[in-house]
Structure 1
Amino acid sequence: MTTDASGLAPVSFDRLSNLFLELQSYQSPSELHGLLCGQYCAGQRPAHGAWLSTAAEHMAVSQVLDTAAKSVLIQLYDETLAKLQSEDYSFQPLLPDDDEALEQRTQALGQWCQGFLSGYGLSGRSQNDLSEEAASILADFASIAQVQFDDLEDSESSEKDFLEVSEYLRMATLMLFGECSEAEASATSGSLH
């Protein structure tokens, strides 16, 4: 298992799922990651405390988050932002591993998109500020969030489709993040005059 500069293992889908189980949360870890990515792509950088409140609310946990839970959620926050900002395109939506059933991975893909749209919506950012391509991506995410997986065949063709859609999500998220970062930078430089 690889570790980051802090010596901690990256937050994987399984690690986040285990946290959800410990906290008796029946929500989707992928949806929580999508929510965070949506906030980032809308230009929001909530403080750690605000993120922890949002995460706890999303997870519908009744107890106060302990230090270990807070640590994992803050690590998820920091790692996700770092990967979105990285020039190596290492960002990946947080989904179950490839050895899980295709139905489960497809459901998580839809949940990730649902979370993304919720996180983006929390920003209050107007879609009028978006390029045509970015608006089209949000519409695609809305379609993917509605995916039906009941009659999904576990076939090579379905697997290929899943991989294509998850790669599209990955690249589209990076594009949205980049567009928002450029808009934020020009708004900041424009306000300095």
Structure 2
Amino acid sequence: MYDLDNPAAPASTTQVHITGTLFKRWMKSCKSPRIDEGNAYQIVAMLLEGKKETLGTAEITPNWHLTMMGNRDSTVSTNFHFKIEIGKPYSHYWHYVLHRNATTQTWYWVGHPNPNCTATNQGGGGGGSDIQLIRSNLTLVQLEARQRPAMEKGMNKSIRDKLVAKLTQWDQAGIIQANTSGVFDGGTTV
């Protein structure tokens, strides 16, 4: 399993926000098998789901997902996280925000600090503000993922970057644009 890293903002970019409508259209175009809007403040797009299994006494479905964290009704993004979840005991995530170069209409993932531990954009496993516990959690999740080949290879930087390539493509084609509030929306032609 890969460490998705904590990329810095490229020069000449600014942070941008997208609507929940654009997020859902974006994820469907990237072949997300399922999108869950059941929780306030977030929309979850499954990127990869494994087979149901039993872990201890719990029935789980290992997965990789991308969550758009937003306002209460998820109409505007605040940040995003990529998360591997092999049941609640084995989960780890990376926080990101979207940046855009207005001149080239190019989109980027930029690491967004963990609010409890600004030394990283990672979280999980109850690590809170302790960077060593966060790193230890990643190691535990990696060990658990090795037992599930699809989960171990299910997400990497290349796949992560292909997602923003779709936003770049749509932006350069004029399919998406900022609304009057400066938030990017999906338009009607996506």
TM-score above 0.5: no
Q: Write 1 or 2 for the structure with the bigger share of strand.
A: 2
In the superposition, the TM-score normalised over structure 1's length comes to: 0.25
Higher relative contact order (CA closer than 8 Å, sequence separation 6+) = 1
